[in-house]
Amino acid sequence: MQHVQRSLPMAAAPAVILDEETMRGIELRQLRYFAILAQELHFRKAAELAFITQPALSQQISKLEEIVGVTLFQRDGRTVALTPAGVMLQQETAKMFDQLQRALRLTREAASEREFRLSLGMVEYTNLPFIPPALVRMQAAYPGLKVQRHEMHAGLQFDALARDVIDVGIGVPVSMPAGDSGIEARPVLSGPWVAVMRSDHPLASRQSIKVADLMDERLIFFDRPLVPHLYDILVNACKRAGFTPHFVYETQQAQVGVSMASEGAGLMLGAAYIFMALPAGMTMRPIADIEPFRLHLFTRTGEQDALLHEFVEMVAEEAYRTQVLLDAKY
């Protein structure tokens, strides 16, 4: 893992003066890539956030440095750090992107193109931790934004997108949409199945468990109508292990299941990202021999709505941050 060294002192930062010809050579995407790398100071992580390859990111940063005429990053193979000029450009581009965001919002409002509204298809039970920060960012940029949520699993979202009932779907699909379906799928997060339990439970002493370890356990799970195919995946995994799961309670609220598990009523099962913040005295263990949850964003192919694209990018960025936390834990 690369050691990250944060920004250099501001005092020595020289002014970066660009003439008109230089400005014409700079692309907005290069400044966006620069801003991401300046924040992360890690080429691989920045490339993932920018959704380009690491070599492509390096090439674009080098082009930007060539156009500007100064070195923006110090690289020695192990560390990445901003130069004084890079510090200055980071501060100024942050102001520029804030102003650009405001200009786009005011332009849309002045044109009265449409009411700012986002319609999301998702299962509220899944408690996706990256959705609230993405919505907060959107509402900061568009104070009049209205968000409508439709309770539906991925199996229903494709038709809802086709009929313009929702703008974005978020879920774990049974299968990917067909190439000619008019639906685009974008993977954003992968997380293991976990069993949530009290810290004094015998299984809590293990690093991970297997489906067979659940044979004699009382289990708490989500209600099947919420996401039928995921419910069936677990049931079938248990049957392959030689037993029928003993569900003592099926809930539509994840927090209810956690509360019951904390009282010793059973083990709560679900995706790791649902249980990012557990109460004291509780822990979770990954179930190693069952395929992980793979969350996707679904949009209409060729979608032209700039507001929607902006939201999708914010969701993808926040999901990446959640993925980093999950990867560090599992």
Name the pLDDT band for 5 (thresholds 50, 70, 90): very low
**Cα separations in angstroms, 228 against 121, 214, 302:** 16, 20, 30
* Dihedral class, residue 69 (left if φ above 0, else alpha if ψ from -120 to 50, else beta): left
Last residue of a domain, one of 110, 136, 155: 110
In our burial notation (b when 16+ CB lie closer than 10 A, e otherwise), range 35-48 reads bbbbebbbbebbbb
Write out the residue range of the structural domain in which residue 286 sits: 193-291
Q: Say whether both 9 and 153 belong to one domain.
A: no
Band of residue 260 on the pLDDT scale cut at 50, 70, 90: very high
Contact between residue 257 and residue 251 where contact means Cβ atoms under 8 Å apart: yes
Last residue of a domain, one of 61, 90, 110: 110
Confidence band of 138 (pLDDT split at 50, 70, 90): confident
Does one domain contain both 218 and 102?
Answer: no
Residue 164 or 49, more confident = 164
Same domain, 8 and 50: yes
Identify the DSSP state of 8.
P
H or E element at residue 141: helix 131-141
Proportion of the chain above pLDDT 90, given as a percent: 51
Close Cβ partners of 203 (under 8 Å, ≥ 6 residues apart): 195, 197, 209, 213, 217, 267, 285
Percent of the chain with pLDDT over 70: 90
Is there a single domain that holds both residue 139 and residue 73?
no
- 26-44 tens-digit pLDDT: 788 889 899 999 999 999 8
Query: What tokens were used for 167?
Result: 């703008």
Give the DSSP per-residue string, 179-218. TTSSEEEEEEEEE-EEEEEETTSGGGGSS-B-GGGGTTSE
204 shares a domain with 145: no
In this predicted model, what pLDDT tens digit does every residue of 149-194 receive, in sequence order? 999 988 899 999 999 999 999 999 888 888 788 899 999 999 999 9
- pLDDT of residue 253 exceeding 80, the answer is yes
Between CA 115 and CA 123, with CA 121 as vertex, the angle to 5 degrees is 140
Q: Do 320 and 182 share a structural domain?
A: yes
- Please write the tens of the pLDDT for every residue from 70-128: 999 998 877 899 999 999 999 988 888 888 877 777 776 665 545 578 899 998 888 89
In sequence order, the 6+-apart residues with CB closer than 8 A to the CB of 141 are 101, 102, 105, 310
- In this prediction, residues 132-155 reach a mean pLDDT of 87
Angle at 42 between CA 38 and CA 45, to 5 degrees: 105
The 8-class DSSP code of residue 42 comes to -
The pLDDT-based confidence of 10 (bands split at 50, 70, 90) is very low
225 and 91, same structural domain? no
Asked whether residue 228 falls in the same domain as residue 131, the answer is no
Whole-number pLDDT of residue 16: 45
Q: Which amino acid is at 141?
A: A
pLDDT for the residue numbered 176: 83
Q: How far, CA to CA in Å, does 76 sit from each of 87, 129, 327?
A: 18, 36, 26
- Residue 48 belongs to domain with CATH number: 1.10.10.10
Question: What average pLDDT does the structure give for the chain?
Answer: 86
Structure tokens at 199: 């810290």
- Least confident interval from 23-32, 91-100, 237-246, 308-317: 23-32
- Of the pLDDT bands very low, low, confident and very high (cuts 50, 70, 90), residue 289 is very high
Between residues 203 and 255, which one has the greater pLDDT? 203
Mean pLDDT of 136-142: 84
22 or 217: which carries more pLDDT confidence? 217
Q: Whole-angstrom Cα distance, residue 115 to residue 109? A: 9
Same domain? 148 vs 217:
no
Same domain? For 225 and 275 the reply is yes
> Do 7 and 105 belong to one domain?
yes
| Bigger pLDDT: 243 vs 277 | 243
pLDDT value at residue 12: 39
| Number of folded domains that form the chain | 3
> What is the pLDDT, as a whole number, of residue 2?
40
Last residue of a domain, which of 110, 140, 156? 110
CATH of the domain at 128: 3.40.190.10
Q: 105 and 9 share a domain?
A: yes
